[in-house]
């Protein structure tokens, strides 16, 4: 017997890639369980599937930075109690973080893919299933987006949940309407501009001297090459140094509401008296609309 749940949850995270840098990502999650019926003539009650499995997935990988532990580019060191230094050193990018441990998911793999994250989750979940369950399948998949989209990473220091983590992200579509007509050329421009981007808040910028970095980070980070961000929120002290070419600096927080407004204000001068509607998405099926 097979029990399935489609769209169990959405993983909104970011990961480190030697070619792309820090990449915002959104995966839809489907699960299948196989086994024998229990005393209630069920494989497993749907409410338990949704609560137990979703809770594990959300707690372990959602709104975290996924770090490929076995990649040659990765260096992970303990910092003070409850904190880690993570340095990612590729030929194209050097990225440096000092954050609470809960900001990271350390994946025992050489690269972050849907398959390696799936394997990590299977290892975490299998032993927590009841004895009548003998098989578990987890599928991570992208939302089908037939129009331009982008991957962005950010952190929201004022958020009272896990969005405060400095490097989590989203794979997002965008709709731009000019006088009621969808403008795919403008959408493509914005998708290209924000492909694999880190959206940093200007107020969170600091000098490299204000960061607490690993020895490796101290050698490699400079104010000429990197933007440095630091803020303290409810979960702790978050620090990030990232190449300037991978960033766009926003003069507000980077909530999706303010990103929609930012995009609209960036585009409006070239459109003059035309009406512009920006539909900005934050991952799958949610977002904000600004009309100017």
Confidence of residue 253 (pLDDT cuts 50, 70, 90): very high
Task: State mean pLDDT over 200-207.
Answer: 98
What DSSP line would sit under 15-46, residue for residue?
A: EEETTTEEEEEEEEEEEEEEE---TTS-SS-H
pLDDT above 80 for 81: yes
CA atoms of 64 and 104, how far apart (whole Å): 5
Task: State mean pLDDT over 200-220.
Answer: 97
Burial profile 266-289: b = 16 or more Cβ within 10 angstroms, e = fewer: ebeeebeeeebbbbbbbbbeebbe
Task: State mean pLDDT over 136-165.
Answer: 96
Task: State mean pLDDT over 65-73.
Answer: 98
Task: State mean pLDDT over 92-110.
Answer: 96
Question: What local confidence, expressed as pLDDT, does residue 46 receive?
Answer: 64
Domain boundaries, the chain: 2-172+203-247
Question: What local confidence, expressed as pLDDT, does residue 152 receive?
Answer: 98
Task: State mean pLDDT over 47-56.
Answer: 81
**Percent of the residues in the chain that have a pLDDT greater than 90, as a whole number:** 85
CA dihedral 19, 20, 25, 29 (to 10 degrees): -20
Domain 2-172+203-247: which CATH number of 3.30.479.10, 3.90.79.10, 3.40.50.200, 3.30.70.580? 3.30.479.10
Task: State mean pLDDT over 163-172.
Answer: 98
């Amino acid at each position: 017997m097979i029990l399935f749940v489609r769209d169990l949850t959405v993983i909104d995270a970011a990961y480190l890639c030697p070619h792309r840098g820090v990449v915002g990502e959104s995966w839809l999650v489907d699960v299948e369980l196989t086994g024998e019926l229990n005393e209630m003539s069920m494989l497993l009650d749907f409410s338990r599937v949704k609560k137990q499995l979703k809770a594990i997935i959300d707690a372990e990988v959602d709104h975290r930075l996924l770090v490929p532990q076995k990649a040659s580019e990765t260096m992970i060191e303990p910092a003070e109690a409850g904190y880690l230094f993570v340095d990612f050193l590729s030929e194209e990018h050097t990225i440096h973080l000092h954050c609470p441990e809960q900001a990271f998911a350390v994946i025992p793999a050489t690269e972050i893919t849907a398959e390696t994250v799936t394997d990590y989750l299977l290892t975490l979940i299998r032993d927590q299933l009841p004895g009548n369950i003998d098989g578990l399948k987890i599928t991570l998949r992208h939302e089908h987006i037939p129009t331009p989209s982008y991957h962005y990473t950010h952190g929201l220091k004022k958020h009272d949940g896990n969005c405060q983590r400095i490097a989590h992200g989203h794979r997002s579509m965008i709709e731009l309407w000019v006088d009621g007509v969808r403008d795919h050329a403008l959408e493509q421009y914005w998708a290209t501009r924000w492909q694999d981007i880190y959206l940093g808040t200007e107020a969170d910028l600091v000098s490299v001297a204000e960061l607490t970095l690993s020895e490796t980070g101290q050698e490699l980070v400079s104010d000429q090459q990197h933007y440095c961000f630091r803020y303290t929120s409810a979960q702790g002290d978050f620090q990030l140094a990232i190449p300037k070419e991978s960033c766009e600096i926003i003069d507000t927080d980077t909530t999706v509401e303010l990103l929609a407004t930012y995009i609209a204000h960036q585009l409006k001068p070239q459109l003059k008296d035309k009406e512009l509607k920006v539909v900005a998405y934050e991952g799958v099926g949610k977002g904000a609309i600004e009309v100017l």
